[in-house]
Amino acid sequence: MARRCFAIVAAICVAAGLPPPSVASAAPAVGLPAAVAQPLTRARIPADALSVVVADVTAAGRVHLAHRADVPMNPASVMKLVTTVAALDVLGPAYTWRTAVYADGPVRDGVLAGSLYLRGDGDPKLVTERLWLLLRRVQALGIRHVAGDIVLDRSAFDLPPHDPGAFDGEPLRPYNAAPDALLVNFRAQVFTFVPDPVAGVARIGMEPPLAEVTVPQTVPLADGPCDDWRAALQADWSDARAPRFRGRYPASCGERVWPAAHPDPARHAARAVAGVWAALGGTLAGQVRDGTVPPGLAPRFVFESPPLIEVVRDVNKFSNNVMAQQLLLTLARAAGGSAPPGAQGPAPQPGGRPPAATFDAARAVVQAWWRERLGPDVPAPVIDNGAGLSREARVTAAALARLLQWVWASPWMPELMASLPAAGIDGTLRRSPMGAGVAHLKTGSLADVQALAGYVHGPRGQRRVLVAIVNHPNARAARPALDALVQWAAQLP
């Protein structure tokens, strides 16, 4: 509907000899509001480091502010808007991923006389509890002992080698995890610390249980405030199979959770599958290894993921990078041989299976989708991995504003709106000072990037799109200016 209305307005303008409207040209750019310019000055950030659009939610509506709207900027995690909107439109909010389970031998007296195969489909949410459910369903087939191997088929994605420390030198941060066709628990191990004052220790737990990995059961308690409690633990990750905590845990912290990427990411899925299988009482004669399902083998059952809308919510509310990458790659896999015009992907695999997804094919699908939905006059974003964890990704504020206007008139507006962090309420804006419920905005943050994009709610039911991107070494100091911009947009008459 938004596209049709915009086309009608454009046709009227052309007939009158006027240029068609756009986010950048529908109104002349005006100076930044003083409430925004002043905190920028205090942060020593020049006005030309900021790109802004504030406009009505309809494409033919009013542009209230356009400042450097057509300049390509690094949007950081705001790029997830492009990935999630494309996924909602191409795949549909009810789309699910299907992890197929195979066995190549008979089952007698609880023994599988052969190997068990788990073929990944790119499920972004195969977390510990869902892996537990999957393997419980295996046991419901009567399998307690696997005489062969447990084989992990990850051939749905064709990915280049990944160095988790290449982006910022933080290989153990979960946000640096790489995608995987059989992604288990985001490739993370989650440690819990529960104080036991009587024993003078904090008790340590780890999920998922990882085969071959031993973790200390306790760490001594310490007095004092709960400041940098992670540093106080003095964690030693040098041995992926034996993490150690050589310091103390402040008792004042109460119960805390520490998610960390597994230091040996290539082995994480195998160790998690082996660990959960053993925790369920299952036994294995062989090993958990990578491989592929033999041709012609029919699945014993298919384990479905939560629906895409739940994944989109996690991606946007909590800015989950690896889930966003899984979504992007799924677009290429789902397109298969029926990709939109201009999207070129690899050939289907033997047996009619969809082609293995690559980032190149996924980017082509999104570019073609963008041209189809937004038209050739709205410059398409430069997408890297779909998560915004990139130095190369680029998009203009005007293009993002048009995307938000298109979504507003689409069937997917309620799903996208519900997935965005609500200011002062949840997600990455839970502690925002800009006012509870004043906006639903995707946030973006890198060392030199601060960004917001989404919808601002006026006091009398007005709805406006807002896009603001700062690219500058002092970008972190721009948060007060961006908060002030949201307040200004919300109070517009």
pLDDT in tens, 326-370: 999 999 998 873 344 333 444 445 455 778 999 999 999 999 999
Contacts of residue 414, Cβ cutoff 8 Å, sequence gap at least 6: none
pLDDT of residue 354: 77
How far is C-alpha 474 from the geometric centre of its chain's CA atoms?
A: 25
Is the dihedral angle over the CA atoms 120, 125, 128, 132 positive or is it negative? negative
Is the dihedral angle over the CA atoms 207, 208, 211, 213 positive or is it negative? negative
pLDDT of residue 430: 95
User: What whole-number distance in Å separates Cα of residue 93 and Cα of residue 111?
Assistant: 40
Domain boundary assignment for the chain: 34-93+310-338+354-491, 98-163+267-306, 174-261
> For residue 194, which amino acid is it?
V
pLDDT of residue 349: 54
Give the global pTM.
0.90
From 435, 434, 468, 425, select the one nearest 449 (Cα to Cα).
468
Q: Which CATH number is 98-163+267-306 given?
A: 3.50.80.20
Question: Which ranges of the chain have pLDDT less than 50?
Answer: 1-30, 337-348, 350
- Chosen CATH of 34-93+310-338+354-491 out of 3.40.50.2300, 3.40.50.970, 3.40.1280.10, 3.40.710.10: 3.40.710.10
pLDDT of residue 16: 35
pLDDT of residue 181: 98
